[in-house]
Amino acid sequence: MIAPRRITWLLGLASVLGASCGPAARPQPQPRATTETTEVEIERVDPNSTEGQPRARQSPPAPGPAREVSFPPVERFELPNGLEVLNVRYTALPIAYALLVIKSGRANDPAERPGLAAFVSSMLKEGTRSRTSAQIAEQIEYLGGELSTWAETEASYAMVRSLSDQLPIAFELMADVVLRPAFPQTEIDKLRRRELDRLALQQNDPEFLATSHFYRAIYGAHPYAYIDATPEATRRFIRSGLFGYHRTHYVPNNATLIVVGALDLPAVRTLVERQFGGWTRGRAPEPTYPPIADVTSRRVIIVDRPTSVQTEIRIGRPGIRRADAQWIPLSVANQVLGGSAASRLFMDLRERRSLTYGAYSRSSAAVDRGVYRSGAAVRTEVTGQALEAFFENLARMSTETPPDDEVADARRYLSDSFPLRIDTPGRIATHLAELRVFGLPDDYWSTYRARIGAVTPQQAREAIEALVRPDHQIVVLCGRASAIENDARRWGPVTVLDMQGNVVRQLEAVSGAAPAASPEAAGSP
């Protein structure tokens, strides 16, 4: 303990030093001589006092009632040539968004030329009768906008986004791209080289390999079997074939135009009639969907990728149509099982067992039957543990009605996140496109939250139990076959493929091992 005299001396020294080292050389007041001592008082704290102590943790306040959010009203008209137009007046931002939906996509590709629809859509921006590819890019950039074209399974799309007062110019550019493509041979050759390079890289991507072989195993000769082009088909795309596809499928009575922005209906009508009124009707063929074979047993396909340190896992079977009445209760049930980071698969495989960064399940949206699948990427050495965890959760979901609290959480998640899905012009347009692509009723999104909120635990179980039967699943693993095939044999007969899809070997299932896991084994989520 420092003596009081010592403290007095130190304080005086500090005062002198402070005066001599200050920023100015002005005279400093001299301390008055004193013989008094300076004492340091130490505050004594009552150990029984709560003053200054951390407060006890309190529960957060309960959330208030959800704010009512409804899908914006939609106005509709149709041109004499059959082009349907949907308009949503959106004034929150000075942005306009136009989306043209051509109801032909990858499902319309000829069987021998998968990828044709996507190639045609990509070529639309590569030159028209009056503009080169560079001019198209320069003009949309000058407007500060965006022009995109792409194709998905059921439809092809052209989109333009710009400031509302620039929409007439951007709209004319989109119409030129869609209606009057030139398909210049030099640009076809460039795109072909880019696509072949992309596909070559993709053939070594474990995620793509797992998903593509999974879809082929599920669909066989169905148009959904191919999720992308093939190098062989891409080499066969010719200019006359692109013109033929465009002439057949890009017709107004096979299209819907969606406009979202600060434009009223008369202004939109004037704009559409000026740019698309001369578009000539046609007869676009609808895709043919052969029957999809049901999965009546469990079998395993391993795509051998010898350099892999992880295994991509896909487990699933044919699902339901997007327009099926069971889609809403299935959405709730899937949210319980694997729809988000709060669902059973994620919480079990990541949080409880530390096997992966994330595990999910989903139902693909399709005009015909989609697929219901679950999957994850795991370290090679825990592949067997991950498969066991997946099948434990599938077994539980197929035999137990989910508890009320889980279903309530799932309903709340889907309902409360819906406003975030329609908070921009582009998202509103995308939701309207779904109505036409999948044949949904016009009031589908207006009643969506109410129908989600009405799903009961029993309805959720009925919607999903036939899709998660553990003994009726296709299992595709992409990874190092030599390290995972013994674990895989516990779950069914195994076919090992090389990365080109050739059969390397076939292995019988291990007799009596890995039955459908008991629901009790899955434990609580």
3-state secondary structure 323-380: CCCCHHHHHHHHHHHCCCCCCHHHHHHHHHCCCEEEEEEEECCCCCCCEEEEEEEEEH
Task: Name the pairing type of β-strands 299-304 and 474-479.
Answer: parallel
Task: Establish if 289 belongs to a structural domain.
Answer: no
pLDDT band, residue 4 (cuts 50/70/90) = very low
Q: Would the pLDDT of 418 be above 80?
A: yes
Task: Establish if 321 belongs to a structural domain.
Answer: yes
SS3 290: coil
Determine the pLDDT at residue 37.
Answer: 43
Task: Establish if 106 belongs to a structural domain.
Answer: yes
Same domain, 317 and 195: no
Same domain, 333 and 470: yes
Determine the pLDDT at residue 60.
Answer: 81
Identify whether the C-beta of residue 283 lies closer than 8 Å to the C-beta of residue 251.
Answer: yes
Q: Could you tell me the end-to-end alpha-carbon distance of the chain, in angstroms, rounded to an integer? A: 59
Task: Establish if 64 belongs to a structural domain.
Answer: no
The string of DSSP letters for 173-235 reads HHHHHHH-B---HHHHHHHHHHHHHHHHHHTT-HHHHHHHHHHHHHHTTSGGG-SS--HHHHH
What Cα–Cα distance (Å) separates residue 309 from each residue in 126, 305, 429, 490, 499? 40, 9, 41, 21, 16
**How far is residue 417's CA from residue 288's CA, in Å, rounded to a whole number?**
36
pLDDT band, residue 308 (cuts 50/70/90) = very high
Nearest partner of 386 among 336, 352, 363, 362, judged by Cα: 352
Percentage, residues of the chain above pLDDT 70: 86
* Dihedral sign from CA coordinates of 74, 335, 398, 208: positive
**How far is residue 82's CA from residue 329's CA, in Å, rounded to a whole number?**
35
343-393, pLDDT tens digit by residue?
A: 999 999 999 999 999 999 999 999 999 999 999 999 999 999 999 999 999
Same domain, 214 and 328: no
Token pair recorded at residue 504: 């390397």
pLDDT band, residue 23 (cuts 50/70/90) = very low
- CATH code (residue 412): 3.30.830.10
Same domain, 268 and 399: no
Determine the pLDDT at residue 56.
Answer: 65
Determine the pLDDT at residue 381.
Answer: 97
Range of the domain at 225: 75-276
Q: Would the pLDDT of 25 be above 90?
A: no
Start-end of H helices in 77-205: 116-123, 133-142, 167-179, 185-202
Same domain, 167 and 215: yes
482-497, pLDDT tens digit by residue?
A: 999 999 999 999 999 9
Q: Please identify, among 243, 276, 309, the residue that sits at the C-terminal boundary of a domain.
A: 276
Same domain, 254 and 369: no
In total, how many domains does the chain have? 2
Same domain, 316 and 465: yes
Nearest partner of 479 among 387, 398, 391, judged by Cα: 387
Task: Establish if 393 belongs to a structural domain.
Answer: yes
Task: Establish if 54 belongs to a structural domain.
Answer: no
Eight-state DSSP code of residue 128 = B
Q: Which residue has the tokens 């906008």?
A: 145
Mean pLDDT of 390-416: 97
What Cα–Cα distance (Å) separates residue 524 from each residue in 3, 272, 331, 348, 487? 65, 56, 21, 9, 25
Same domain, 266 and 316: no
173-207, pLDDT tens digit by residue?
A: 999 999 999 999 999 999 999 999 999 999 999 99
Task: Establish if 505 belongs to a structural domain.
Answer: yes
Task: Establish if 389 belongs to a structural domain.
Answer: yes
Same domain, 126 and 174: yes
Identify whether the C-beta of residue 507 lies closer than 8 Å to the C-beta of residue 493.
Answer: yes
Same domain, 316 and 271: no
Element (H, E) at 439: none
Nearest partner of 234 among 113, 108, 106, 105, judged by Cα: 113
Task: Name the pairing type of β-strands 494-497 and 299-304.
Answer: parallel
Same domain, 187 and 310: no
Residues 6 or more apart in contact with residue 421 via CB below 8 angstroms:
427, 431
Same domain, 121 and 263: yes
110-164, pLDDT tens digit by residue?
A: 989 999 999 999 999 999 999 999 999 999 999 999 999 999 999 999 999 999 9
SS3 147: strand
